[in-house]
Amino acid sequence: MKPGIFITFDVECSMGGAWNDPSIRPISPRLGMMGEYGENQFGVPLICDVLKRSELQATFFLEPFNEDLGYPNETEPVARFLIKHGQDVQLHIHPNHVHYGQCQRGESYQRTDQMADLSRDQQKEVIVAGADLLESWTGSRPIAFRAGNMGASEETLAALIDAGLWIDSSYTFPYVGGQCRFMEQQRYNGSKWYGDVLEVALSAYQQPNIPGLHPAKPVDLMGSSFEECRDAVRMICDAGADAVVILHSFSLFKVRDKQYNDGKLNKVVLRRFEKFCQWLDDNRKQYPARTFAELGQCVREKKYQPKAVPPCRINKPVRALTRKVVQGINNFYWF
């Protein structure tokens, strides 16, 4: 079984500054997930359209707790849309959403957006609640999880098992020691077992050691060029491990402010995503695209052998600096 490439999306809504300003609301699924602006839908619908052109499936890690943000019955249509379009839906949780709802209802709450800040029992409780929601909307219980901000730890993996899930994709080595709370000392790409949980790391690559560049970056088409992401996943797969690429439901559009006003197409990121999908389509025999649902089936059928490999390095400083300049310009809404 050849190593696979997993295209993943974190489908979520921003708090939009609502914690600090009670006069405003968090962002709705209509904006943060679907990207609805006038007659346009720059979020999940556009993503699915690009995937369809190359006959690809992706895994969408869906945050289900938007009723706590004040938007009841708005997340289920997103889940149903993804299932209708043949995509894989798995669980994504930002604890901040649950805590905001508790705050609004006048209940006691713990304000944190890091899963690892919660006790094991608290993590299990919120994972079970989220999985229950996804199952009620899609007809299938999720098997895979990704923590918001990659803010999981080994204790999160224990809570996953308690909750009946057994695949995680929260570890990424550039964030370890910061928002990613794993104590894992070995920096790696690929996958490995932590007891009964299969960790499929969000892929990352090391950059040239020059001023202005972070030492390492996740393989994120919003923050890296198509060429950097292509080269990283190719090196990871050629070394014998699976590669995981990340985007978000809002990656293909940009907004004027934190309240998501005046969204418009992010042409730079859209071109990167289109080129990556086309490259996968052209090279699907050598670098097959897979979903986490397919991975789970392969594991059950004993066709899967996890492998962790050392971080890869992309040593092209001119290209990296050029991308950084383009990224800086593209961050301006009016560009």
**pLDDT tens-digit readout, 140-184:** 999 999 999 999 999 999 999 999 999 999 999 999 999 999 998
Q: What is the pTM of this model?
A: 0.97
* Within a domain: 335: no
Question: pLDDT tens across 217-271, in order?
Answer: 999 999 999 999 999 999 999 999 999 999 999 999 999 999 999 999 999 999 9
- Cβ contacts of residue 152 below 8 Å, gap of 6+? 115, 116, 168, 170, 171, 180, 181, 182
State the pLDDT at residue 285.
Answer: 96
Whether residue 136 is contained in a domain is answered as yes
Domain assignment of residue 63, given as a range: 5-330
Exposure string (b/e) for 74-91, b if CB count within 10 Å is 16 or more? bbbebbebbbebebbbbb
- Domain with residue 62: its CATH number is 3.20.20.370
Confirm whether 219 is domain-assigned.
yes
**CA neighbor of 164 nearest in space, from 194, 189, 131:** 131
In tens, the pLDDT along 114-149 reads 999 999 999 999 999 999 999 999 999 999 999 999
Query: Does some domain include residue 232?
Result: yes
**Band (212; pLDDT cuts 50, 70, 90):** confident
**In this structure, is residue 109 part of a structural domain?**
yes
The answer to the question of residue 287 being in a domain is yes
Q: How many domains does the chain have?
A: 1
Does residue 32 sit within a domain? Answer: yes
